[in-house]
Structure 1
Amino acid sequence: MSDILSIIAGFDRRGNSNTHTYSLKGVPPCLTACSLVCHAWNDICRPHIFRIVEINAGTLTPRLSFLHFKAPHLCNYVLNFRLSLDDRADCEPFPAWLPDCFSRFGNLCTLYLIGGGSVNSSLAAPSPLDVGITTLLAAPLLRKLHFRKWTFAGDDLSVLLPTSSRLEDLSLNNIDTNMMNVVSSPVRFDALQLLELYNIPHPLPGFKTFIECPNLRSLVAEWYGPLGWELPLWVSTRFSELTLNVSAWSGCPHFGEAIQPSLLTINILGSGSCSSSIAWVEDCIASLPFPNLLHRVTINIEVTGVNERKYEELHHELGNLCVFLYQLCDLGALQGIVLKIELFVSWVNTINDSYDVLDPSNEAKTEELVKLEGLFSALSERDSLDFDVILEWRTTSGALVFYTRVQ
């Protein structure tokens, strides 16, 4: 159930559904229909309908005015608020009552701030938007904060201070800054468990200080450009879980000499064949300062544009990967490997798809399974290793054509 509210209107001042011709985009029709039955159903449905509220700058005033002036009690149902400012230059000035409206979101748990915004707390007369966002950041139950295409103005991050003691999940996606190379007062997030860094442009990764996250448990990094990724100096090296979202043409990562993750997940996209993706995975793992401390490795490979000529190459590439993973097991700590490969093809003549691909008696599936079991026999025979490999053939539309699994 998506429950994303695109048009808040459609309820009367008590939050009951009315007969006006408004639409609730993303809200299942059965949910709004149920809310019309009686007050009891209305009370059940409202928390679902208003759980996630998504608003852009162009429609901010009319939609929030409904909540602020006509149905303020509905603000308590908002747990996830997504504010997009991509078109803020084309909209009217933000109203003076905006901070008061945002202060009503007392149960807010997740906040998304999207698109070109900035908050400068050093201004003598901050705008209603600046004050409003500061109010949202001070929500007492806020645990997740996501910035996407956001600009941090100046070198003062004090606007984030209200979140420092309780924030558990912070996502920075394609953010920008006019800072030089240092933050005068970095904010310390003692409760932060998950940090996500998506396409962070230079020079921010090279800053000596930005934020502090001493108790970080999990780091997610995503980049698709040719430049190598470097672990920012301001990120704690004590995390135990590392997830990388990349392509086969992404620059190789430079992890430094201190990180010691025990769980590694690599999600990689490629095209043509698996060779470049597998080579990237091997280089990445080999570049870890302490690969001998890995307990579990998960590798998800998606390859597009695969044709029949690449079929035999696939088994050769998987054989090379098996040898690499076997050597990794010899380092002593590895307890589990999950390998999933999805091949997107326009047709597959090599595999007889005239049978039901989900039928265990499928002859072609049995032959493929025997090949895979032979390739990975060295790994599957290790008693101390939890091993799982899944090979899926899909059409370019994503429909499953054929799959094989070895455990």
Structure 2
Amino acid sequence: MESFNPMDPQTMQCPYPWYQALRREDPVHFVAGLGMWVVTSKELVSQALQNHEVFSSAFGLPQMPPPAAVADQVAEITAQGWDLIPTLLTCDPPDHHYYRRMVSRAFTPRFVAQREPAIRQIADELIGALPVGEPVEIIEALAAPLPLRVIAHTLNVPEDRIGDFRRWSDQFALTIGAVIDEEGALEQARNLLQFEQYFAAQLEDRRNNPQDDLITGLVQAAGVDGDEPLTTGAALSILQQILIAGNETSRKLMTGTLHQLALHPHWWQWFKEDPAGRSANLVEESLRFLTPVQAMFRITKAETELGGKTIPAGQMVILNFGAANRDEATFDDGEEFDPYRANARSHLAFSQGIHACLGAALARLQARIALEDIVTRFDSIQLGPDNDFTYDASFMLRGLKRLSLIFEASA
């Protein structure tokens, strides 16, 4: 266990044997080289998530810092924009409750339900364009453009900016649980500034010209319970989280689910027998098994005991959802992909407690619609000949870099 390092490139490519060993031998493990604790059992991860008074989300940014050699240049670039203040992901009550109320007023169940026709249309267009009988790289053809176009619709911004959205989202994600080089850090800072400038203008436009979209909902969310309007910096921080959470995670979920269905043809046939009736559990098992957001940070506000270990105050803790979601104490044969699993929805892929993901309903709806369309439209799915199954170099956001698939048409 002393050699475990979540940042090791080989570990990032295949972390699950490590997670099994950690759950069995040391579920609250101190990684001396990083000065961080890693929690891997589902019971203990849930316990920490429910105890936000001690396990604080005010840990700063989830991104790793830029290389020291360009830190000043990065600071000069970011100074031209807005201060992205801690909001949903990286703050504690009472501020967290305020920001969650504001987003909840805009992101209502009714608002999500109203997106369904648009999601079906977007999925139909993308899936209808997939080639038959020849390899297709599914991330570029479907898994990336689907959530980006849904986000564009949700925010009511032109689809001709989707290329920008993807570039910004990809740039933000580069340092979530990963380190980039000096030029990469400068490029990331430039893209963050472009994102801020574009969406600050969109926010100002909605203040003067309200529309039926999420941006308008954010700028109009005040006025209840004496809440003040969101500042531009706070709104930009929320929009950045929506862009990453709505794109990166859905992309990885769709890619990983299709990968598993190609690996296990009997589950494809099982799904094909009743797409509408079985898509929900398929999505839940994919969320459990794949866990696109593998981990999240916390910082201890006081000395605490967890799993028999004493963690001092001020310690960084990694709550490992990816390990917890395969815990044999909760999930029988947790290392197996089993869409028939009765308790699949017991996963922590959307976190838990006060920080449970507000976009979970939209993510589930989008995945179900696309997967039902695919399995209805095609007779079979198989892996293409040119896959290398390389994963992104991040211990927090886990997904394949590319995936080649071959679909055969239904009779």
Query: Looking at CA atoms only, which structure, 1 or 2, has the larger radius of gyration?
Result: 1
Per the normalisation by structure 1, the TM-score is 0.20
Greater share of residues in helix: 2
User: RCO higher in 1 or 2 (8 Å CA, sep ≥ 6)?
Assistant: 2
Per the normalisation by structure 2, the TM-score is 0.20
